[in-house]
A and B are shown apart, each in its own frame.
Chain A
Amino acid sequence: DAGITQSPRYKITETGRQVTLMCHQTWSHSYMFWYRQDLGHGLRLIYYSAAADITDKGEVPDGYVVSRSKTENFPLTLESATRSQTSVYFCASRDGETQYFGPGTRLLVL
Chain B
Amino acid sequence: RKEVEQDPGPFNVPEGATVAFNCTYSNSASQSFFWYRQDCRKEPKLLMSVYSSGNEDGRFTAQLNRASQYISLLIRDSKLSDSATYLCVVPRSGGSYIPTFGRGTSLIVHP
Contact = CB atoms under 8 A, between A and B. Distances in A.
Q: Do A and B actually bind?
A: yes
B96 A50 contact: yes
Contact residues on B (Cβ < 8 Å of other chain), bracket: 20 to 34
Interface in A63-110: 90, 94, 97-99, 101-104
B87 A101 contact: no
Given A42-B101, A42-B102, A97-B49, A90 B43 contact: yes
B45 A101 contact: yes
A90 B36 CA distance: 14
Nearest to B6: A42
B9 interface: no
Contacts of B32: 97
A97 B87 contact: no
Contacts of A40: 103
Interface residues of A, number: 18
Contacts of A58: 98
Nearest to B32: A97
Contact of A45 (B42, B97, B98): B98
Chain A interface main SS type: strand
Contact of A43 (B42, B46, B87): B87
B99 interface: yes
Given A35-B101, A43-B101, A90-B44, 19 more contacts: A40-B103, A41-B103, A42-B101, A42-B103, A42-B104, A43-B44, A45-B98, A50-B96, A90-B43, A97-B32, A97-B34, A97-B99, A98-B34, A98-B46, A101-B44, A101-B45, A102-B43, A103-B42, A104-B43
Interface of B: 32, 34, 36, 41-46, 49, 87, 89, 96-104
